Amino acid sequence: MDQIAPDRRSRISSPPPAVPSGGLHGNHGGPHGGRGASKSWLGGALLTALLLGLIALSIRSVSGDLTFVLLGSVGLVVGAFHYLFPGSQFFTLALTNFIGVYACIFVFFAESNFHNISPLIQAIAFVLPLVAFLGGAWWRAEDIRRIVMSRRLREGGHFDRVFLWMAPVWGIGALTFLVPEQDMDTQTIGAVFLLAMSSIAAIVALVSRDIAIFLLDAGLLFEGFFQQSARLVLPAFAFLTFYSLCIILFGAIYTIMDRFMAEPNFVIEGVRRDITFAEGIYFSIVTFATVGYGDIHPVSGPVRLVCGIEIIMGVLLLLFGFSAIIGHARPAGRSDRNDPL
């Protein structure tokens, strides 16, 4: 026994198989986990591409040149970060979304307070914080790489530091609203804009590690969201099917009541008349969702009673339906060790 035990221990404590060249994001607990992670990443990538496309089209109406700057910046910065920190594909998606949100905020301030500056100054000002972020992350590359490879959510303490650096950044943005009130020429306004963005870039460079950690946590949550979404397809489809049947049922009831009652029961766009089936379905949708746009509203007691019943059913169905869907996302006795959530 004394000779067998060491041999058993050596087999038990033998090192695990080597991680494939794809890094941690290429190994998700076997072939099934890898396929699930790949599908999750593909869904996130498609959503991110759609978001960037919409942002690019919106920016093009303000500044066409800035659209190319945005797309080029995403390619360079995201590529550099993926090369420096190859630990999570969802970190790449989080960074891409972050740049898209930054572009929207940038365009908002530029259009509101600096609409007369040249496209070249706009492009330089847009790139400054991104370059500062990339440089600061490269400076702290070892720390950030260890955090990426850990693949775990950090404790909530670093969020205090996030709010500390967000305060001066938003403070600089708020001060820019004083610029339109000043009598400045175009060159002076451009210089003020570059000064403001340079100040923001300096802050971003100093806290780049905290921003990177924030993005890593967002990427892990993003990954967990899409992994759970893949398990919600069937229950969500069943819920939507029952939801649709209820809407069609009440839409038909409204139409039938209008056909067999002496007076029309609805005022439609200011005119009291019989409701059509298509209008009944539309009214059933907005009533079931408790939206009520007001373009169609009931004027008779019986129909109002039916509307009240539909509203109550809609609220209860949403409560119990969402509870059932969320409960199906993580069944009892089943856990996914690769799920960050």
Going residue by residue through the chain, which has 341 residues, state the pLDDT in tens, using 9 for 90 and above.
444 444 434 444 444 444 443 333 444 444 444 454 455 455 556 666 777 777 777 666 555 667 777 778 777 887 787 777 765 566 677 777 788 888 888 888 888 888 778 888 888 888 999 899 888 888 887 777 776 666 565 655 555 666 777 788 888 888 888 887 777 888 888 899 999 999 999 998 888 878 877 777 777 776 667 667 667 777 778 888 888 999 999 999 999 998 888 889 999 999 999 999 999 999 999 999 888 888 999 999 999 999 999 999 989 988 888 777 777 666 555 555 555 44
Q: Within the chain, which residue ranges are assigned CATH 1.10.287.70?
A: 233-329
Give all strands of the β-sheet with 296-298 in edge-to-edge order.
271-273, 266-268, 296-298
- CB neighbours of 256 closer than 8 A, spacing ≥ 6? none
Question: Nearest Cα to 38, choosing from 49, 51, 28?
Answer: 28
Of residues 317, 258, 260, the one with CA closest to residue 283: 258
The reported pLDDT for the residue numbered 271 is 92
What is the phi/psi pair of residue 272, to 5°?
-85, 115
User: Residue 22: its pLDDT value, please?
Assistant: 39
pLDDT of residue 231: 72
Asked if 67 contacts 126 with a C-beta cutoff of 8 angstroms, the reply is no
pLDDT of residue 207: 84
Using CA atoms, how far apart are residues 245 and 19, in angstroms rounded to an integer? 49
- Is 233-329 assigned to CATH 1.10.287.70? yes
Alpha helices (runs of H) in 207-298, residue ranges in sequence order: 208-230, 233-260, 277-288
CB 93 within 8 A of CB 44: yes
